[in-house]
Structure 1
């Protein structure tokens, strides 16, 4: 979408799927908005929202994991900011 003012774009970002503070939205706007006819729009590559055409089998993925040669740690959360909570 095209937002008529910077403030409208910032407010929209504050209310996004992952809500952020005004300060965070302003920082994101500094690097993420670009002027277009009629106002501002978010600079992004729509291809980033598409599913990846590359699919690895579990065997292929584990081959990558086994080749990691530095210390690693996996943290798996039970609950997060995108988790669906029963109301």
Structure 2
């Protein structure tokens, strides 16, 4: 829920002033289609972020309370001897 709220506020915060003008330029069909496409993209990123909250399994995995914990759990730590 928190990740969804952050994504929604980021999208609304940056585009609230130009949204009406953009949809006015696109028209009814293209504007509605683009709104639905962006809604699906936002929904998909919410799913990805909520899956990163518990790693490696979304149900039984350990909780990642910070961004760095989620990065280390999903990507691992930095190795200095990469060949």
More strand by share: 1
Q: TM-score range by the shorter chain?
A: under 0.3
Of structures 1 and 2, the one scoring higher in RCO (CA 8 A, sep 6+) is 1
The alignment's TM-score, normalised by the length of structure 1, stands at 0.22
Structure (1 or 2) with the larger CA radius of gyration: 1
Question: Which one has the bigger helix percentage?
Answer: 2
TM-score, normalised to structure 2's length?
Answer: 0.23
